[in-house]
């Protein structure tokens, strides 16, 4: 994980954010291009890291893994449907949604197993293979045995607010009240240096979308 994060970061960045879709929202009987075409303005996964999501999709680099979805042969109504493989579909989608970002993608045919002791907290709209139904089945649905999953690690501007908030919280600490902390071998100068490094790191993730935060930073200085 550390090596992967290092691969995705450059220009002084060191942190990545985690995203996932468990299960991946694929409708029963629909192909991967059909599903991705429904998410042209947004991504079909949710942020797992403790950052506040941005309305604008943007990232510097990312690694995306999709498992349990195969490409179905259908009449091509969109450019995604003309792709020859699942890998090509996912890669073209990422390039369209995140233009200019360094994106790597991997596709695994085997879905994620959800047999016991995996908790059965799934919606009744899920089939046994983890695909979504248009409406609940008339019969009692069986336990979900597997699900398609999409996961991503991103070097993304959403980390700017997280890191800068951490810097502000630490800056407010009255270190004189934490004698035991410094008695463990941490020097006051080292603490202040680490604090400034954290602020510098947060600025590495800043883009034009954080203009309001930049003004707040300047005012606080």
Neighbouring residues of 97: CB distance < 8 A, sequence distance ≥ 6: 40, 43, 57
Predicted local confidence at residue 212, as pLDDT:
47
- What pLDDT sits at residue 219? 47
Mean pLDDT in the chain? 83
Report yes or no on whether pTM surpasses 0.85: no
- What is the spatial distance between Cα 77 and Cα 87, in angstroms, rounded to a whole number? 19
For residue 183, say if its preceding peptide bond is cis, omega within 30 degrees of 0: no
Task: pLDDT band for 65, please (50, 70, 90 cuts).
Answer: very high
Residue 72's pLDDT is what? Answer: 63
Average pLDDT estimate for 200-208: 89
C-beta separation of 21 from 90 below 8 A = no
Q: First and final CA of the chain: distance in angstroms?
A: 36
Angle at the Cα of 207 from the Cα atoms of 201 and 208, rounded to 5 degrees: 150
60 secondary structure, DSSP code:
S
Least confident of 54-58, 184-188, 198-202: 54-58
Spatial separation of the C-alpha atoms in residues 126 and 26, rounded to whole Å: 10
**Stretch among 26-40, 88-102, 146-160, 186-200 having the lowest mean pLDDT:** 26-40
pLDDT at 149: 95
DSSP helix/strand/coil, 50: coil
Position 44 scores a pLDDT of 83
> pLDDT (tens digit, 9 = 90+) per residue, 129-158?
999 888 877 776 678 999 999 999 999 999
Q: Which of 52-90 are b and which e, b meaning 16 or more Cβ less than 10 Å from the residue's Cβ?
A: eebeeebbbbbbbbbbbbebeeeeeeeebbebeebeebb
Asked whether residue 109 carries a pLDDT value surpassing 70, the answer given is yes
Residues across the chain: 221
Q: How far apart are CA 15 and CA 161, in angstroms?
A: 12
pLDDT level of residue 218 (50, 70, 90 thresholds): very low
Crossing angle, helix 158-171 and helix 188-204, to 10 degrees?
A: 160
- In tens, the pLDDT along 33-47 reads 888 888 876 788 888
């Amino acid at each position: 994980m550390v090596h992967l994060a290092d691969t995705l970061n450059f220009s002084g960045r060191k942190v990545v954010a985690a995203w996932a879709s468990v299960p991946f929202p694929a409708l029963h009987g629909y192909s991967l291009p059909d599903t991705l075409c429904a998410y042209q303005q947004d991504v079909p996964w949710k942020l797992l890291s403790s950052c506040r999501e941005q309305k604008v999709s943007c990232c510097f680099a990312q690694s995306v893994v999709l498992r349990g979805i195969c490409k179905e042969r259908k009449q091509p109504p969109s450019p995604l449907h003309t792709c020859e493989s699942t890998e090509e579909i996912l890669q073209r989608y990422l390039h369209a949604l995140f233009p200019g970002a360094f994106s790597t993608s991997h596709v695994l045919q085997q879905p994620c197993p959800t047999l016991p002791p995996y908790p059965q907290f799934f919606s009744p709209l899920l089939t046994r293979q983890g695909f979504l139904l248009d409406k609940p089945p008339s019969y009692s649905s069986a336990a979900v045995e597997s699900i398609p999953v999409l996961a991503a690690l991103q070097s993304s501007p959403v980390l700017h607010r997280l890191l800068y908030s951490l810097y502000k919280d630490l800056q407010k600490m009255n270190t004189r009240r934490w004698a035991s902390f410094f008695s463990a071998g941490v020097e006051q100068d080292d603490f202040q240096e680490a604090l400034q490094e954290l602020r510098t790191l947060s600025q590495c993730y800043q883009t034009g979308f954080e203009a309001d935060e930049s003004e707040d930073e300047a005012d606080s200085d």
